[in-house]
Amino acid sequence: MINWLNTNQGFVMSLLTLIYVIATLVIVLYNRKTIREMKEGREAESRPYVFVYLDKDPRDLCFYLRIRNYGKSGAKINHVSIAPNLKLCHEALPEDFLKGVILAPAQTLEFIVLEKEDETLKNDYAISIQYTSVDGSGKQYSENYMLTIQYAHQMGYTDNKQSNLTDEANALRNIANHLDSMRRKL
């Protein structure tokens, strides 16, 4: 066996080099795949996630249309549509007044829905939103989903209590906070 290896040394070295080259190519391909997955994961982690939803505070008589960016980068809204239409101030449609609006991360836009609670509860709403990332990549995203509000009547609320205040002082503080939130909504 040793004599054979000595006489065929060039062939053996060529074969080992070929195996080495193939192994290196396999490693390169796997590394490229891993880098691509890491890049996609980083992009998914840092992209904007803009959602439109209806919210109802049980202490109020109406719903609120909210648009929130849950992502880690800003988003420019290109188009929003809600079907069937919700009655908003001045009969405005979201696609008219939200086009071009920029939402920072964790920013929420809130609009009062000017229809009775029963009218809003009758429908499920088809939401379509397209937005662009403002992080420099200019990548566009599109979300389409249905808002089902069948459980809106079961929404509750909690009052905050600070341990250093009496029950009456806590109640007054919660009332003041609720009045402030109503003032901001108007």
Tell me the per-residue pLDDT of 57-100, one tens digit each, with 9 for 90 and over: 766 777 888 899 999 999 999 999 988 888 887 777 777 888 89
Taking all residues of the chain, what is their mean pLDDT, rounded to a whole number? 82
Whether 1 shows a pLDDT value over 70: the answer reads no
User: What phi and psi values does residue 45 have, to the nearest 5 degrees?
Assistant: -70, -35
User: With a threshold of 0.85, does the pTM exceed it?
Assistant: no
What CATH number was assigned to the domain covering residues 61-156? 2.60.40
Q: Report the pLDDT value the prediction gives residue 177, as an integer from 0 to 100.
A: 76
**Do β-strands 75-83 and 63-69 pair in parallel, antiparallel, or remain unpaired?**
unpaired
What HEC string does 76-116 produce?
A: EEEEEEEECCCCCHHHCCHHHHCCCCEECCCCEEEEECCCC
- Output the pLDDT for position 33: 94
